[in-house]
Each structure stands twice: as C-alpha cells, then as structure tokens.
Amino acid sequence: MIIKCISEDASLENQLIEMGYEVKREANDYRIIGDENALNMVEDRGIVYSKDGEELSTVVVELLKKRGNTLAVSESLTGGMLSAEIVNVSGSSAVFVEGIVSYSNEAKMNRLGVKEATLDTLGAVSAEVAYQMANGLLKGADYSLSTTGIAGPTGDGVCNEIGRTYIGFGSKNEIRVKTFVFAGDRKEVRKRAVNQALATLYENIK
C-alpha cells in the first residue's frame, strides 16, 4: 500500500521510519509504503488523501469532475505555484476556471475586490484579506482557494513571523480561513502552503 498524506506533525516521519516503513517527505506531504498499521497511524496524525500513490492535485481534480464543480484560485504567497500544480493534471481544464496572482495590494483591490481599508488596517498578510481574496472569485466558480503569507527570509515589517500563512476556502455557502506557521526556507514555505491549500480543498469536497 502506498499511502499519501499531509501532516504538520514533525515527529511522524521519525516514528514511521523507526517502525520500519519507507517514508519519502516533501514539505508537509508524505509518501509511505506500509500496511494498515501505518495507515491507522497517519490517519490519526494528518490528512490521508490516497492509498494508491496518487498525487493530491490529481485527487482533487478528479473529485471536482465527479461532483461537476469548478475551482478558481487567488494567490499571493504562492505566486502561481498552486495554479501550476492544478493545471499539471491532465483534464483539469474541465474544472479549473482561473488562477490570479494578486501579489501587490493594487492587484488584490482591483482584481479581487479586497478593501483598501482592510489592507491599510490589517495588512496583506491577514485572515480578513485571505477571506476577501477567496470571496472575490466565487462569482465565476463553485469553489475558491486563496493564499497569503510571509515566505521569508525577511518579514513584512508589521508583526507577522516568517512562515505565517493564511489559506482561504470559499463556496456558495461559506468562506473559511485557516492559519498556519510553516517551517523552512522560502521555497519550502511556499510548497507547504500549496500542499495545505490542496488539502483544505480536499477536506471540504471529499
């Protein structure tokens, strides 16, 4: 069995290796060759999205197809990496409407309808901005994802620590934002944000 999961539990990898399992980790994404014991362990510690080695992006695209739903994403922190992960999946054009890289505050306001007052008061790296970014895409898609955060190596001059990330998920019924603090260098933080955004989508549509 090839188990694929997302987990921020730093001790998980060592414990699996100590138990004799083969583990490959990329950011917060794990590929584990194991049995039911390994599956039970990672289900308690993370989000299991595949038992046959499928990539998370493939899993969510296929789920969207089955449901007949569409997706749009707005990215700041991840700078297009999330959109690229989705369009790498063959057939994603059936469900993926658009991806907007709204890196500047002006783009957030002009393309997504983020309020200038929110940016001035809370800054671009905030839960409210992630909420408004996700909301700005729902007119044209069933679901939306948004990412904003600090990848480092420098901060934002406000009070956000490096690695702090806000991921928004939107649907016709609700918009929710989760907060994460990812470890690693700039590349690792952005990759973890992509993985977690896809995992957030999976949790909400599975």
- In which domain, by residue range, is 35 found? 2-50
**pLDDT, tens digit, for every residue of 152-180?**
887 766 666 899 999 999 999 999 999 99
Could you write out the DSSP letters of every residue in 114-168?
--HHHHHHH-SSSHHHHHHHHHTTTTS-SEEEEEEE--SSS--SSSPPTTEEEEE
Residues 125 and 171 in one domain: yes
Q: Give the C-alpha distances (Å, rounded to integers) separating 194 from 22, 79, 147.
A: 24, 10, 8
Residues 186 and 156 in one domain: yes
Identify each DSSP E strand in the chain by its residue range.
Answer: 2-6, 22-26, 29-33, 47-50, 71-75, 96-101, 143-149, 164-170, 175-181
Residues 72 and 45 in one domain: no
Residues 40 and 65 in one domain: no
Residues 88 and 142 in one domain: yes
**Average pLDDT of the segment spanning 177-192:** 95
Residues 41 and 113 in one domain: no
- Please report the pLDDT score of residue 145 as a whole number: 98
Residue with tokens 């999205």, as numbered in its chain: 49
Q: How far apart, in whole angstroms, are the C-alpha atoms of residue 8 and residue 28? A: 6
Residues 19 and 72 in one domain: no
Verdict on whether the full-model pTM lies above 0.85: yes
Does 154 or 2 have the greater pLDDT score? 2
Residues 86 and 27 in one domain: no
Residues 91 and 159 in one domain: yes
Residues 17 and 105 in one domain: no
Residue 137 contacts residue 73 (beta carbons within 8 Å): yes
**pLDDT, tens digit, for every residue of 4-39?**
999 988 899 999 999 999 999 888 899 999 999 999
Q: Is it the case that residue 137 has pLDDT exceeding 80?
A: yes
DSSP helix/strand/coil, 46: coil
- Please report the pLDDT score of residue 113 as a whole number: 98
Mean pLDDT of the chain: 94
| Residue 135: CATH number of its domain | 3.90.950.20
Residues 86 and 35 in one domain: no
Residues 142 and 187 in one domain: yes
Left, alpha or beta for 121 (phi > 0: left; psi -120 to 50: alpha)?
alpha
Task: Count up the domains in the chain and report the number.
Answer: 2
